[in-house]
Amino acid sequence: MSEIIEKETKQITKTVKIFKRLKCDICGKEFTGPYWIANTHHDDWGNDSVDSYETYDLCSENCVEIMFQKYMKDCKHSDTQYLSFEQDVFEEHVKEYLEE
């Protein structure tokens, strides 16, 4: 193992964005608090199906129902549709961006 012969301390600054509100992907309403995340994809395109992965933020039970109805409609034209829901509570999120 190499021996460290000199050390230096540097202060590093990075820029972060803080997200305070989300926008529902179904109705467009801005919201905070409880919401649902829907994940969808299919395997209709073979190896290219990786491009079908989508994530949606949904503000209400009504928007969850609309997403489920869309999924049921998509199932009529495909045997490989996938849909999952999870509930979450939106709080301020920090997303880090590196300055380029």
Average pLDDT over residues 1-11: 81
The closest of 36, 11, 12 to 25, measured between CA atoms, is 36
Percent of the chain with pLDDT over 70: 90
- Whole-number pLDDT of residue 97: 47
Extended strands (E) in the chain: 15-19, 22-23, 30-31, 33-41, 54-58, 82-90, 93-97
Judge whether residue 35 has pLDDT over 70. Answer: yes
- Residue 88 lies inside a defined structural domain of this protein: yes
Q: How many domains does the chain have?
A: 1
pTM, 2 dp: 0.68
- Across-strand partners of 19? 93
In a domain, 12, yes or no: no
Give a yes or no: residue 66 inside a domain: yes
Q: Please indicate, yes or no, if residue 32 is contained in any of the structural domains.
A: yes
Using one digit for the tens of pLDDT, what is the confidence trace for 88-99?
Answer: 887 765 555 444
67 domain residue, yes or no: yes
Closest CA to 24 of 5, 38, 41: 38
- Domain of residue 29 covers 22-97
